[in-house]
Every structure is written in C-alpha cells, then in structure tokens.
Amino acid sequence: MGSNDINNLYKLFLFGILSFISISGLSQTSEQANRQGTMEGVMEEENIVTYQASFFSRFQPNSALDMLDQLPGFLMSISGELRGYGSDTGNVLVNGRRPSSKRVTVPSLLDRIPANQVEKIELIRGPVRNIEMQGEPEVANVVLKTDVPAAVRWAFTGNHNFDTERKPWTSNISVADQWNGIDYNAGLDIFRVVESDRNQEEIRDISDALTEKRLEEGRDWEIEGNFDLTASIWVGDTLYTWASQIGLQEGGEDFLSLRTPQGPGSRTNSEVLHTDTGEFQFEAGITAERNLSDYLKGTLLAFATREDEDETAREQSFDPDNNLTEEKLRISNQIELEFILRSEFEYSGIDSHNLRFTAEGAYNEVANTVDQTTDLGAGPVIVFVPGENTTVKETRGDFLIKDIWALGDLELDYGLGFEVSKLTTEGDQDVEQNLSFLKPHAELSYTPDESMRARIRVAREVAQLRFTDYISFSLFTDDDVALGNPNLRPETTWKTEAGFERRFGQQNVFKITLFHHWVDDVQDLIPLANAEAPGNIGKARRWGLRFEGTAEMDWIGLDNSKLDVNLKWQDSTVVDPITGLDRVLNATIITASSQSIFDTDNEYVAEIDFRQDLEELRMAWGWDVTLEADLPVFKVDELDVRDKEPIINFFAETTRWFGIKMRLDIINATNWTENRTRTRYTGQRQISPVQFRQIQNRKDGLEVGLSFSGSF
C-alpha cells in the first residue's frame, strides 16, 4: 500500500471517529424528555455502570444474551479456544463468577437464561468486590434474581441458502431450577452444520495464458448433539460449582473439482474427495470458593476434557475420459486430553491494596495416528509423511502475583507472572523442549468520573503454541503437505496500549485504543528441503488503533434506534525469511465461528450495526455491514491473497405473539464474492519463476434464516 493510500485510510478512520463523536454529542443534546427516558434504569458508582433490567425493556429481550448484546459500548470476547483456564476466561461473568466450563460457551449459557430472571447487568471497568479483570479493560457481570421459579428455555433456527444446498438448523432446550439446595441448569443442543460453496477457477501459466478452467463444489456437513449440566450448592461456607458436557458429532465432506483443459495438448485430472468424520467429546470440572478469613478468599478449580476424532478421507482423480487414474486413502485418529488444577487467593487486608496470587498446573496431550496409501492402478502403496504419527505432551505451570493499588482517581494494577513448561514430541521424531518466561504487567487508569476514563497498559504476553503446528498433515485439495515442527517456540510480545473512553448519558459511548506491539520469535513458515514448516523467523512490530462506539440516532428522527461501530486499523513489519525484505505479518484465515475477524493481521476490519426498536409494535429491525482488507498469506513457495467484498445482513424480529421471539435474517444480502489469487512458484516465493496462478472466485450465496425462541 502506497503512502497516499495510507494517508487516505487515516483520514477515513479519523473522519469516521470524529463524526461518531459528533453524533454522540448531538444525541446527548436532544429533547430533555427523551434523554430522561433513555437514562431510566441506569446507575453509576465507582468503576461500575449498572444497567437495570428495565433499561433493556425497549429491546424486548427474550434471554440474558439478548440483553448483553445491547449493552452500550461492550463487545463480548471469544473464549474457550486456548489451553488452560486463566488465559481463556473471556470478559463475561454471571453473578460475579466466570463460567467453570470451556465447552459450554458464554453465549449458549446466557441464551438459556430467561430475560425475566436478570436483575441487572453491571459494566465493570476496574477491580471491585473481589472481581478479577484478568487483563480485560472491562467485564460485564450478569446479575440474576434470587428465588426465581423453574424455567424452561427453547429455541429453533433454520436456514436456507439459495445458491447452494445449505440447510443448517439448530435446536436447544434447557431447564433451570433448584433441588434440595442445588441450583442447576441442564441443556440439550442438537444442530446440523452445513457449509457449501461453489468456486469458479482459472489456472494461468507464467505468461498469463489460460491453461485450465475449474468448477469446484464443496459441501461440509455435521450433526452434533451436546448435553451439559451445571450446578452449584453451598456446603457450610463453601460454594461448590459443577460443570460438565458430553457431545457426539458425525459429519463429512464432499468435494468435486471439474477441470476443463484449455489449449492443445493439455490434459488435466478431475478430482472427487469424500470424507467421513466422527467425534466424541467430554468435559467435567468442579470449583470450590470459600472466605478463609475476613480478608482472605480462596478458590480451587479442577478440570478435565477429552476429545476423540476419527476421519476417513478418500480422493479419486479421473482423466478427461473419466477413467480413474489415482486413488488416495487416509484413515486418521486424534485424541486430545487436558487436565487443569488451579488455585486463586485474594487478600484485602492492606488499606488501598488488593493482593492476588494464582497458581495453575496443566497437562495437555494430543496423539495423532495416520494410515495413508495411494493407488495408481497397481494396488495401494503406503505413503509416509514425516511427522503425521506424532504425540505431543505438555506439562505447564503458570503463576501470578499482583497488586491493585487505589490512589483516588488513579488506580495501578501491576504484577509479575511466571510460566514454565515442558513440551515432548514422540513418534516419527522425538524432541523435548523446556521453556520458561517472565510475564510482567502494569496498567495505570485515571477515572475522574464515570463518564470518562483513560488508561495506559504495558505487558509481556506469551502466545500459545498450537499442537497442530507440531503435527504434519496431507492437504488433499491443495495437493500439498503441511509439515509440523517439534522445535517451534511460542511468540512473546511486549504490548503497550493507551485507551480513552467517553460516555454521554450512559447510552452514547466511544472508546479509542492506540497500540504498539514488539514481537519476538514470530511464528511463520520457514523453508525446508523441498518443503515448508512452521518456524520462528525473528522479530516483528505491530501498531494501530481500535475504535468502539454506540450512538443513539434519535436526533435524525429515528426514534429508539442506535448505531454500533467497531473498527480496527493496523500495520506491521517483519523481515521475510525468503526475500530478506520487510513485509507485513501473515494474516489468519478465519475458518470457525468461534474466531474473531478482529484477531487477524490484516490491515483493517470494520463492523457497523444499526438497530431500531418499534416499541408499540413490539418489533425491531436493522442491518449490519462487515468490511475486511485483503488477507495475505506468505508461504515458502507461494503467495495466497484473499480479497473479500463487504457483507451486508438484515434482520427483523418481534415478540408480539404469545411471548415467542420470532426473527427473520437475510444473510449476505449482496451475495458477496471472495477472490483468491494463489501464485505458485517453481522454487522459493518471489525469487523463483512463477509456475502458475490459481484465480478463484467464490460466492457464499444469499441465505435466509428463521428462528423461534421462548421460555415457560
């Protein structure tokens, strides 16, 4: 990107942010009666903005999740994807406690709680009432009513895609009640996930001549059922909480690549891929909390999970006369285990100080076994891919001591963490690593009143190594192999952040955060003999800004409407291990709904949501737009760039009949296109001649969803 483009982008972000602040100010100076109405149900105290249940009544919420989605200026973070517990707890609490389960996600947990059981939602912006922020700038605490009657929540959603055969659906039912002093919530989820797409592709040679056209159709499907149970009981002065889930999955993939040669003498195979998968998952955990003295509180958590996945993949290649020329078969099994023991202690016996100590021990294991053959017509021949049959084991200890020092309007949160781990790789090659890291942090915040807050944070963070980077995988559809690297080290990053928050009447909010990161042991792809593998390539820098805001739109005549805006812009630099030149960091291709597009290293991301509530009709409607910059992935022998068009969605919902929430979603209304350009080189990227370019045009299709939910 040239300097003019960067300057224009800066101007665009600056204009958008200043416009948003102006809108917030105009909204705040609207009619006094309207302003008083919007303030109803909102209270302030030190480090807390409390939204009573009445504040959310205009949104006609059906569940606690509906209420949290409308919390001004709050964006729920995604959790449950990392190993361990302390580093993966998210920014949402229920009754002052984080969920003791990782597989029972916060959204699914909140969706089971009827809205009439929520007393209030607290937006906590600093340590209060023994609540640990866990490095988050703010957390939301959903406070439930006590002595509520039993409640049953249910929901069903069905979707239809007009361009493909995609017909996913989800259903769930849960019951919350009390039995013999035990508060429990039991739920059953059954859903069908379907992902299908159709791609038009062109293959061009070094002179840009068209050599092949491809029509590719893929369809992934999965039926999954999960039963989970959470329960809590007081035994004397100790609160015990139990969380468990058991799940089963069955799925598969069908992929067809029809290839049409272009030009004389060109012969190309067509390919058919069929995959069957099955998975069993189990999780169980127990937490005990107790006040050990007037000033000392202790918490102990024990947690275990197991995932067992089987997969059979068969790829067949055909010549232009539809004769079978090659058949590949891969049968694999992967077992993942995790055991966690964690203790937390908090001491508040020193005036203006709050001391905390945590210690967590964890054991993780991934065992991967693969049998692979290829048959060119003379019978199956065993294929050996180094690193496929591998077991990775990790024993890790994570310790933290910290102090929160209150100094009037100033507050200092500082501490020192220490992480030690032993990683062992067994199988095709045996490697052992012993790692240790110091993790200091300090955050100074200034809160002169509840409408304004400024903070500065400095911290050293250690990334988690993905066990999949230790294990090799065959990529059938790309005719490639992703090798593992048992000598990989985790990235460590010194993060600096400066944030400012301004609230206008508690409904209009804007927050801006400037950040700069210094990264060591950057994880990327490094060259091997005729291959590539994950590796560490040295140092990098990342810098940019985040903007989050909510603005009422009544000032332009759209009563009971609001606009939520989330923006991220960043730049980065790292020395490319192939060319020796500076480039940006590799982007992450988001493939799961549990991942956030704000966590990838592309240049910018923007999400804009509009909602208007028609209270007398008990209806609401709105739209949202998502924009993303190009996603570049730099491999050893290829450059993969994905360019996504803006995505626009619409919705309309009502609760006017029988108290049932009915919602219509029009997803991908403009039928967005993702253009992927994959440039393959004869040798190493950009210093060798181009072998071919694969130009892919993928449409996700217009999709309509209809959902029903309620409680009784």
> pLDDT digits over 127-161, tens only?
665 677 776 778 889 998 887 888 899 999 999 98
Higher pLDDT, 663 or 198: 663
Query: Which pLDDT does position 33 carry in this prediction?
Result: 34
Cα(464)–Cα(265) distance, integer angstroms: 50
CB 217 within 8 A of CB 256: yes
Between the CA of residue 407 and those of 351, 455, 571, what are the distances in Å?
A: 11, 14, 36
Longest CA pairwise span in the chain (Å): 86
Between the CA of residue 431 and those of 391, 422, 428, what are the distances in Å?
A: 11, 11, 10
Which helix (H) or strand (E) is 298 found in, with range? strand 296-318
Cα(272)–Cα(256) distance, integer angstroms: 5
What pTM was estimated for this model as a whole? 0.85
The pLDDT-based confidence of 611 (bands split at 50, 70, 90) is very high
Please state the length of the chain.
712
Query: What's the mean pLDDT in 308-322?
Result: 90
- The backbone region for 117, taken as left when phi is positive above 0, alpha when psi lies in -120 to 50, beta otherwise, is alpha
Residue type, 84: G
Query: What's the mean pLDDT in 425-443?
Result: 91
Percentage of the chain modeled with pLDDT above 90: 52
Contacts 24+ apart (CB under 8 A), 25-30: 25/504, 25/508, 26/555, 27/504, 27/505, 27/507, 27/508, 27/551, 27/552, 27/553, 27/554, 27/555, 28/504, 28/505, 28/508, 29/555, 30/552, 30/554, 30/555
* Residue 244, helix vs strand vs coil: strand
Domain parsing of the chain, residue ranges = 41-148
Of 55, 58, 41, which is closest to residue 655 (Cα–Cα)?
A: 58
Cα(540)–Cα(543) distance, integer angstroms: 10
Q: Which two tokens stand for residue 301?
A: 């958590």
Query: Which pLDDT does position 34 carry in this prediction?
Result: 38
CA angle 53, 57, 63 (to 5 degrees): 70
Cα(400)–Cα(342) distance, integer angstroms: 12
Query: Which pLDDT does position 41 carry in this prediction?
Result: 63
Percentage of the chain modeled with pLDDT above 70: 88
Query: What's the mean pLDDT in 461-489?
Result: 80
Comparing 167-171, 344-348, 587-591, the range with the smallest average pLDDT is: 587-591
- pLDDT of 251 over the 80 cut: yes
Query: Which pLDDT does position 644 carry in this prediction?
Result: 86
Residue type, 233: I
Cα(287)–Cα(300) distance, integer angstroms: 6
CB 315 within 8 A of CB 366: no
- pLDDT of 265 over the 80 cut: no
Cα Rg of the chain, angstroms: 27
Cα(712)–Cα(658) distance, integer angstroms: 11
Of 62, 42, 44, which is closest to residue 52 (Cα–Cα)?
A: 42
Query: Which pLDDT does position 347 carry in this prediction?
Result: 93
Of 232, 238, 188, 290, which is closest to residue 95 (Cα–Cα)?
A: 232
Comparing 349-363, 429-443, 518-532, the range with the smallest average pLDDT is: 518-532
Cα(67)–Cα(73) distance, integer angstroms: 13
Between the CA of residue 502 and those of 69, 99, 125, 510, what are the distances in Å?
A: 20, 30, 13, 6
Query: Which pLDDT does position 281 carry in this prediction?
Result: 94
The pLDDT-based confidence of 536 (bands split at 50, 70, 90) is very high
- Selected from 2.60.40, 2.170.130, 3.20.20, 1.10.286, the CATH number assigned to the domain covering 41-148 reads 2.170.130
**Mean per-residue pLDDT over the chain, rounded:** 86
The pLDDT-based confidence of 110 (bands split at 50, 70, 90) is confident
Comparing 104-108, 278-282, 377-381, 628-632, the range with the smallest average pLDDT is: 104-108
The pLDDT-based confidence of 37 (bands split at 50, 70, 90) is very low
Higher pLDDT, 673 or 709: 709
